[in-house]
Amino acid sequence: MVAPLPHDELARTARQMNLPGFGLEQQTLLHNAHVLVIGAGGLGCPVMQTLAATGVGEITVVDDDVVSLSNIHRQILFSAADVGRKKVEVAAERLRELQPGLTVHAVDDRLHEGNFLTHLEGIDLLIDGSDTFATKFLAADAAEISGTPLVWGSVLRYRGDVALWWSGPGAPEDGVGMRDLYPSQPDPDSVPDCATAGVLGVTTSVVGGLMSTEAVKFLAGIGESTVGKLYMYDALTSSIQQFSVRKDPGRALVAELGSYSGACAVPDASDRGRDLIDALERGEAYLLDVREPHEKLLSDLPYPGAHLPMSQLDQARETIAALPQGDVVVYCAAGARSDRFVEEFAELAAQLGITLHSLPGGTNRWA
């Protein structure tokens, strides 16, 4: 059922409806649209802020995280006073301040194979603001299975990508899905480490703005909303490149959700991790932190140790030679980088009487 625009919403968006080709009909389409946003993070925040202000009438946001101080530089719906609060709760408050009549569903949960398709029921547009390969491939597959249009974005360092995907039931005959560009999830070692790559805060706002623009064009039926057009933004040159992704005629559409593993994830080994922590507490092992300097400001382990960022591996031989003989526990944020360090330098360490152990789960699990 198409609901007419309330008087307050007409007044709030009046200047927008002065645009050529954008009038009451287009504003009403936005007001009656329901979008689902994955993640209230660096992309999700500017996307939701813009869509609420522009006039999208119903937003569901799914996130199970809390606000931390390190979020504030890019997650623009939050302030330092919100640290420790649930992101979806804070986001819902801010969005209602922008559009008092907005319907917001704040879902404090994580999307997974068992609940994703249910969450897409009644959704006009899925917006992926997630930051892991696992979630992005899960979202793309769920969108294709259900035939839900997907606005997709990603950021890394000074660069961002944006695209509109639409494939599966109800999509155009030549509809394009994300797997037409990325057929399979990349190997973790083929991409920059999740914790070390970094991102410029303003880049997320620019990319989020581009995602919002694609969403508004699609929902309101204005401008050129082209499925499969990929935009690549470079903050350092202020340039945007465009590429057209075509449907792969040899690719079978995704029929069911599979199994998805995060690029930064490591196998759960709680018992082994507990044994290493116990050895540190007894003073029977020494620490080697391979995270970057800024990560130590966020969390750390309270035991004696050395520090060698993975970005400075040219100093590895000297650092290892200065370590005490015996057991050395190597750690990072989650365990992926420490695994690689141990694999690369275990033989050198052994020649010096040192046994390297990677701490599974890293500071995310044990700090």
| Alpha helix ranges (H) inside 56-132 | 87-98, 116-119
Residue corresponding to tokens 């559009």: 99
264 is catalytic: no
One of 102, 126, 308, 332 is an active-site residue; which one? 332
One of 59, 125, 155, 194 is an active-site residue; which one? 194
Residue pair 109/115 in contact by the 8 Å Cβ criterion: yes
Cα–Cα nearest to 359, from 261, 282, 266:
266
Q: Residue 216 is encoded by which pair of tokens?
A: 């508004």
45 is catalytic: no
Sign of the C-alpha dihedral computed for residues 154, 156, 157 and 163 taken in this order: negative
Q: 90-116 b/e with 16+ CB inside 10 Å = b?
A: bbbebbeebbeebebebbeeebeeeeb
Are β-strands 354-358 and 326-331 bridged in parallel, bridged antiparallel, or unpaired?
parallel
Residue pair 87/107 in contact by the 8 Å Cβ criterion: no
User: What residues are labeled active site?
Assistant: 194, 332
